[in-house]
Amino acid sequence: MKYVLLMLLLIPIASAHLEGGADKVVGDYLVDFGYSPGTPIEGENILIAINLVNNSEQTVITPESVWVRISNGNDVIFAGRFHPEAKHVTFSFSFPKPGNYTIDTRFVHGSNPETSFNVLVGAKKEKPSEFMVLGVGALLAIIGIKFYFTFIKKN
């Protein structure tokens, strides 16, 4: 029973720990950043969660807002301000192409802690095109017809 109570108490602290992410200490704060799935793929949605934690007390802080910018090199892909619900910020995002992205965060709370995180986004695996499938099907049909006329029709 003690372990169940401990786990329930740790849920707010661990809420940004998804499959990927990191924690960074910024002054008196811990910025907890997480995302899922752990290996983001271009064009597919991921869930991003960001928490601000009092580093000495290990309690989640509800900031007034969180400014987030997502960039790839010099290209800013997204910039906006979120107002936390349930003490943290969560949102869905889809990276437009593979590469190394920087996610900058700035919290409107106390000394306005800010930090950055990197996310490596993989390329989408190409599915065979319709023409390739049709080409393979046509090739198999030709081989089948040749086999029929060469071996079966002779007998």
**Based on the domain organization, do 141 and 107 belong to the same domain?**
no
Using only C-alpha atoms, the chain has a radius of gyration, in whole angstroms, of 25
Exposed e or buried b per residue across 45-61, where buried means at least 16 C-beta atoms within 10 angstroms of its C-beta:
ebebbbbbbeeeeeebb
Could you tell me which of 53, 25, 22 has the C-alpha nearest to residue 35?
22
113 three-state secondary structure: coil
Domain hosting 154: range is 128-155
> Total structural domains in the chain?
2
Strand order in the sheet with 75-82: 75-82, 65-72, 99-108, 114-121
**Based on the domain organization, do 55 and 115 belong to the same domain?**
yes
What is the pTM for the complete model shown? 0.70
Token pair listed for 114: 């800010």
Q: What is the CATH number of the domain that holds 89?
A: 2.60.40.1930
Could you tell me which of 96, 110, 122, 95 has the C-alpha nearest to residue 31?
110
**Based on the domain organization, do 99 and 54 belong to the same domain?**
yes
**Based on the domain organization, do 150 and 96 belong to the same domain?**
no
Whether 5 has a pLDDT exceeding 50, the answer reads no
Q: Give per-residue pLDDT as tens, 48-102.
A: 999 999 999 999 999 999 999 999 999 999 999 999 988 889 999 999 999 999 9
Sorting pLDDT into bands at 50, 70 and 90, what band is 150? Answer: confident
Beta strand extents in the chain (DSSP E only): 20-26, 29-36, 45-54, 59-61, 65-72, 75-82, 89-94, 99-108, 114-121
Q: Is the dihedral of CA 71, 76, 77, 78 positive or negative?
A: positive
Q: Give per-residue pLDDT as tens, 108-148.
A: 998 899 999 999 999 988 776 676 777 677 777 777 677 77
Token pair listed for 113: 């802690």
